[in-house]
A and B are shown apart, each in its own frame.
Chain A
Amino acid sequence: MEPTQNTKDRITWHLACNVNDIPEDGGGTALIEGKQIAIFNFTRRGEWYATDNECPHRQQMAIGRGMIGSQGEEPKVACPFHKKTFSLKSGDCLNDEGYKINTFPIIIKENQVYIGL
């Protein structure tokens, strides 16, 4: 995929950061178009994920500081405030059905991280 306007999906790809800006098996937060996006470098699985940075439980900007891991096969992130955990794939909350976060497409090209909004 090209990091440009993709008319079919109506996704615009935004350069977020360099791959080295996100710690291995950890996360970080980028400001993109005024929106806070949490980015995860799941080195162990060779996967990258992007989600909302805001945890819907108490509206705290903290998901990017959360711990990642797995529940069964599902990759997940735990909010540092009250440990609500969210699937990195679907954004569904895994331990409290009432909550959900948005997930975003993410690609790596030439050591740069791009997020599709």
Chain B
Amino acid sequence: MKTNANTHIVVIGNGMVGYKFCEKLLARKKNDQEFMLTVFGEEPRVAYDRVHLSEYFAGKTADDLTMAGQEWYIENGIRLFLSDPVVDIDREEKLVRSHHGHVVHYDYLVMATGSGAFVPSIPGVEKDGVFVYRTIEDLELIQAYARKAKKGAVLGGGLLGLEAAKALLDLGLEEAHVVEFASRLMPRQIDDAGSKILQSQLESLGLNIHLAKSTQEIVGNDCIKGMQFVDNSFLDVDMLVISAGIRPRDELAKIAGLETHPRGGIVVDNGLKTSDPYIFAIGECALAHHMIYGLIAPGYEMADVVANALTGVEKEFLPYDMSTKLKLIGTDVASFGDPFIEEPACKTIRYENKAKGIYKRINVSPDGKELLGGILVGDAEQYNMLLQTCKNKTILPPDSEDLILGSRGGEEAGLGVMSLPDDALICSCEAITKGMLCQEVGEKGNNSIDLLKKSCKAGTGCGGCVPLVKDIIQGVMKQNGQYIKTVICEHFDHSRQELLDLVKMNILKTYGEVLNEYGHGDGCEVCKPVVASLLASLWNENVLTKDRAPIQDSNDRYLANIQKGGTYSVVPRIPGGEITPDKLIVIGQVAKKYGLYTKITGGQRIDLFGAHLNDLPIIWEELIDAGFESGHAYGKALRTVKSCVGSTWCRFGVQDSVSFAIEIEDRYKGIRAPHKFKSAVSGCVRECAEAQSKDFGIIATEKGWNLYVCGNGGSKPQHAQLLASDVDKETCVKLIDRFLMFYIKTADPLTRTATWLNKMEGGLSYLKAVIVDDLLGLASAFEEEMQTLINNYKCEWKEVVDSPELRKRYNHFVNVPEKDPTITFEEMRTQKRAKEWV
């Protein structure tokens, strides 16, 4: 197919696949090829990432989800009509007519009309409070209605249904239900056993799951009041989201007389041509190989096939692998190859751990040589490797159960990524093979994820292949004999640990000295905070003195946390969460005087938001006068030592947890580390302080204290692990000294203790050997170093308040005393909030 300057390509539909088609077509365009491109979209927005739609409720904005802004279309000369669906195609004259009456001629037409929600014909689906889950507009409607609703249900327990259920949880409904017609969740992806594990995981998060339920009627007058099922049971809900599958948008194709399938979908051949050779169909509206491909990767592949065809390259759309991996409400679910094949056509290996919520199944060929497919629930870390092994028909090791269980003989299990053939597809969204990546890394030197994203777009789609791409980078570099270490950035060819040793041995105290001695170039926003952190960890001098203020990261730079709109928040230290009424009053007075929004933090402190940069020194002056100190909420340092009330009041408490928490917080306050660290002390095994979710946590026992380390809350929660039990206070403190110093000296930048331990060779047993058994003979050095840091502690805010030189930097403008005039607030629940950013 040849195009010329007058060739006009019209795309109907501005969804992810329609957008991808434009992107791929432009990328493939050669100098001598020209064409005009016109896009019609039904929705009022430019194409956005529908795959991550549920993140809209978790805080992402419509902007965050946009694939490319309107300016991208303008820059590339694409005419874009939004809110303007095509309503008619005249195939004789090759014209399309839009809803607003635009008539456009085409030489080639690409239909990317996508799909809509499938709504089953249940009586009552038209009632208020019944929604579908497909577009940002749907989400806005759901969000608005959910404000007055208490109990919500989702009809459909498939992939989309569970995404919608997550949305209901995010919206904070009191009850959230999932109703599925089949006898298991995600019936297309996982088996009964996998479904049971997934169900118990979801139930533990507060979802109510109803399986094998056939809905007879949606009950209510104008608004939904509940769901009546065929088995006579009834579910009392006041809103319902229908997510029972998709229906290809083929109505326009039907009007135009194109061949469509009775069950929906525009029929296309292997080149994705419809029954009219000048019209293509791609994405979820197209029926290729007798099926609708309802995933993003095959949609992108279709876009690529047609972009190829229109630039003169023949390419076929081959039956596409429908393997999927996703995170559903915090639980990994994956299926690949043929997940359901049964014996005797295969040998099935199953692993189930109900306590941990993990289910794994692999189907191996009867001769044990090939992987045919499988299912992973709860832990899908091996998904990429298994998928590749399956797709490439790699010969399996003799003990194929090692693939999912890990080898129990010491050696690393499974097959390394470098054993894959060169044509193994690694990034399926952008169709990039292992061979292509090896070439990019080995020959062109694109040896980081960022460089590869730029050079070949690997990992820019769903992002699922990124861990595998990292492994390939490391593999290729290893093969080429390159020494792999994690250097800080382009300015330092050292790891953080190496640089720390060098700075310590040579007693360097400023960034300039460190850069002159061991770096090159002028530094950047990566290495400056790293060096700032090690200088602080080594010498514990004020972070703003000498040349150190401009090398601090955003928050450390002004000893406060920068917030939306450019104001700062202030967190005074409240050790152990214990505070006197007088101090509480002072916080209230200061907040009132400077117009601050106040909120209790997760760490038993009080956060004061909305402070102007100019006001920070005077706010702190007043707080310090009342006996407060910096809480270091802005630093990669000890945040808070949370405590339960313990034996002084609690009838169950066995030790005085508050006193110990205050002691610990005072001991380690202000000490900088590779990342922030948190702690807690519980007064008994009931663990009300949640010490096991902290970087180090202490739990009282009848005989003393148990010390746990390397726990984490946040996005990747991890329980802390027991380092020592029934130790006395002095021993406990010594162990923490050693633990923290070992962490400070060896962790990579911005690595929390949990990740540090996960990466540590030898894991917890090695950590124990170093900290408790003093394997390296460094224990007393660690204790001494910690004591030096503690002795050097000064409240850095007091130093700023007392220094006119440092105070001077707290002006928004250098030439006038005014505060930033662009800062505005909005009112909310009688307090204020930052203005939403545009």
Interface of A with B (CB < 8 Å)? 16-17, 21-32, 36, 39, 42, 44-45, 58-62, 65-72, 75-76, 78, 80-81, 83, 85, 98
Q: Are B565 and A60 in contact (CB under 8 A)?
A: yes
Q: Which residues of B contact A26 (CB under 8 A)?
A: 549-550
Q: Which residues in window 539-561 of B have CB below 8 A to A?
A: 547, 549-551, 553-554, 557-558
Instruction: From known contacts A24-B547, A69-B524, infer whether A80 and B814 are also in contact, taking CB-CB under 8 Å.
Output: no
**Extra contacts besides A24-B547, A61-B820 (19): CB < 8 Å:** A21-B815, A22-B814, A24-B550, A25-B551, A26-B550, A44-B512, A58-B837, A58-B838, A60-B565, A61-B812, A65-B557, A67-B550, A67-B553, A69-B491, A69-B527, A70-B491, A70-B521, A80-B557, A98-B71
Q: Which residues of B contact A22 (CB under 8 A)?
A: 814
CB-defined A-B contacts under 8 Å, sample of 14: A23-B549, A24-B550, A25-B550, A29-B812, A39-B814, A59-B837, A65-B562, A67-B525, A67-B553, A70-B521, A70-B524, A71-B490, A71-B524, A98-B71
Q: Which residues of B contact A98 (CB under 8 A)?
A: 69, 71-72
Instruction: From known contacts A42-B522, A45-B522, A69-B525, infer whether A23 and B809 are also in contact, taking CB-CB under 8 Å.
Output: yes
Q: Are A83 and B525 in contact (CB under 8 A)?
A: yes
Whether B776 is near chain A, meaning CB under 8 Å from some CB there, is: no
Number of A-B contacts (CB under 8 A): 102
**A58 to B553, alpha carbons, bound, how many Å?**
19
**A24 to B550, alpha carbons, bound, how many Å?**
8
Q: Which residues in window 706-727 of B have CB below 8 A to A?
A: none
With CB as the reference atom, state the residue of chain A lying closest to B489.
A69
Name the distance in Å between A75's Cβ and chain B's nearest Cβ: 7
Q: Which residues of B contact A21 (CB under 8 A)?
A: 814-815
**A86 to B54, alpha carbons, bound, how many Å?**
32
**A69 to B489, alpha carbons, bound, how many Å?**
12
Partner of A65 from B528, B554, B815 at Cβ < 8 Å: B554
Q: Are B837 and A60 in contact (CB under 8 A)?
A: yes
Q: Are B815 and A16 in contact (CB under 8 A)?
A: yes
Q: Are A70 and B71 in contact (CB under 8 A)?
A: no
**A83 to B554, alpha carbons, bound, how many Å?**
9
**A30 to B490, alpha carbons, bound, how many Å?**
31
Q: Are B554 and A31 in contact (CB under 8 A)?
A: no
Contact digits for B180-219, partner A, Cβ 8 Å, 1 yes 0 no = 0000000000000000000000000000000000000000
With CB as the reference atom, state the residue of chain B lying closest to A28.
B814
Whether B816 is near chain A, meaning CB under 8 Å from some CB there, is: yes
Q: Are A25 and B547 in contact (CB under 8 A)?
A: yes
Name the distance in Å between B811's Cβ and chain A's nearest Cβ: 8
Q: Which residues of A contact B72 (CB under 8 A)?
A: 98
Q: Are A17 and B557 in contact (CB under 8 A)?
A: no
Whether B813 is near chain A, meaning CB under 8 Å from some CB there, is: yes
Name the distance in Å between A93's Cβ and chain B's nearest Cβ: 13
Whether B523 is near chain A, meaning CB under 8 Å from some CB there, is: yes
**A20 to B815, alpha carbons, bound, how many Å?**
12
Partner of A68 from B529, B547, B550 at Cβ < 8 Å: B550
Q: Are B562 and A31 in contact (CB under 8 A)?
A: no
Q: Are A61 and B566 in contact (CB under 8 A)?
A: yes
Q: Which residues of A contact B551 (CB under 8 A)?
A: 25, 67
Q: Are B554 and A81 in contact (CB under 8 A)?
A: yes
Q: Are B525 and A78 in contact (CB under 8 A)?
A: yes
**A60 to B553, alpha carbons, bound, how many Å?**
17
Q: Which residues of B contact A66 (CB under 8 A)?
A: 525
Partner of B562 from A30, A62, A71 at Cβ < 8 Å: A62
**A29 to B817, alpha carbons, bound, how many Å?**
12
Whether B412 is near chain A, meaning CB under 8 Å from some CB there, is: no
Name the distance in Å between B819's Cβ and chain A's nearest Cβ: 11
Q: Are A59 and B814 in contact (CB under 8 A)?
A: no
Contact digits for B796-831, partner A, Cβ 8 Å, 1 yes 0 no = 000000000000010011111010101100000000
Q: Which residues of B contact A70 (CB under 8 A)?
A: 491, 521-524
**A42 to B512, alpha carbons, bound, how many Å?**
12
Q: Which residues of A contact B522 (CB under 8 A)?
A: 42, 44-45, 68-70, 75
